[in-house]
């Protein structure tokens, strides 16, 4: 039953994953955190972090990681296939139009409408990642009710790492070096006697 749930959940994510990448994160979080409770919001951020270091799209990596955590190797296979299958079918159907040189103006209009929506979803994903990684979830819970809880929940290591990474990015430092510096900051923090 859990394998079927994994397949259906990630088939839904795969079907509505227009925009890919970070635009799909709100769908992933809603499906695996809120509906099924397979992961916490913090674990979703961990998946995003790991997905940036492994090859492949975030949605597919997420399916593999969630499937592995929930049901081991069979879960990872079922979740990954569930995520890829709808996209595969959609691409085959669309390819019929493209390779027959048919103009599909309705698709161009749909894509034009989807672009701003995807930017909005990426923005939502960014806010959730900032909340989870820097504020430890305090923004989403009671941002205006108890302003002191926001400062109480700040992750100062995350803030320092964010600032260093942002400065390095502005100075056009290679992205791999930024990842390595961020990892080094986290590792150095574990060595501090606190």
Give residues with Cβ within 8 angstroms of 186, minimum separation 6: 157, 161
**Tokens at 124, concatenated:** 């939502």
Q: Which single residue is written with the structure tokens 């964010």?
A: 162
User: Terminal CA-to-CA distance of the chain, rounded, Å?
Assistant: 45
The string of pLDDT tens digits covering residues 80-135 is 999 999 988 988 887 776 666 666 677 677 777 877 887 887 787 777 777 777 77
The string of pLDDT tens digits covering residues 140-185 is 655 555 566 666 777 888 889 999 999 999 999 998 899 899 999 9
- Whether residue 66 contacts residue 39, with contact meaning beta carbons closer than 8 Å, is answered with yes
Taking alpha carbons only, the member of 160, 142, 161 closest to residue 150 is 142
**Tokens at 175, concatenated:** 């992205």
Rounded Cα distance between 88 and 115, Å, is 21
| Residue 139 confidence class, pLDDT cut points 50, 70, 90 | low
């Amino acid at each position: 039953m859990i394998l079927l749930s994994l397949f259906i959940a990630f088939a839904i994510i795969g079907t509505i994953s227009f925009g890919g990448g970070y635009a799909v994160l709100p769908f992933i979080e809603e499906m695996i955190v809120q509906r099924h409770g397979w992961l916490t919001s913090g674990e979703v951020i961990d998946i995003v972090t790991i997905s940036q270091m492994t090859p492949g799209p975030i949605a597919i990596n997420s399916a593999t990681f969630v499937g592995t955590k929930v049901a081991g190797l069979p879960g990872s296979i079922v979740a990954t296939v569930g995520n890829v299958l709808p996209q595969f079918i959609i691409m085959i159907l669309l390819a019929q139009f493209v390779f027959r040189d048919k103009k599909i103006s309705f698709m161009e209009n749909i894509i034009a409408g989807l672009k701003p929506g995807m930017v909005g979803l990426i923005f939502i994903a960014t806010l959730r990642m900032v909340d989870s990684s820097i504020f430890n979830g305090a923004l989403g819970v009671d941002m205006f009710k108890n302003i002191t809880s926001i400062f109480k929940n700040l992750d100062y290591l995350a803030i320092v790492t964010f600032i260093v990474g942002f400065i390095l990015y502005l100075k056009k430092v290679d992205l791999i070096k930024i990842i390595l510096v961020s990892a080094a900051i986290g590792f150095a923090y574990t060595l501090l006697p606190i």
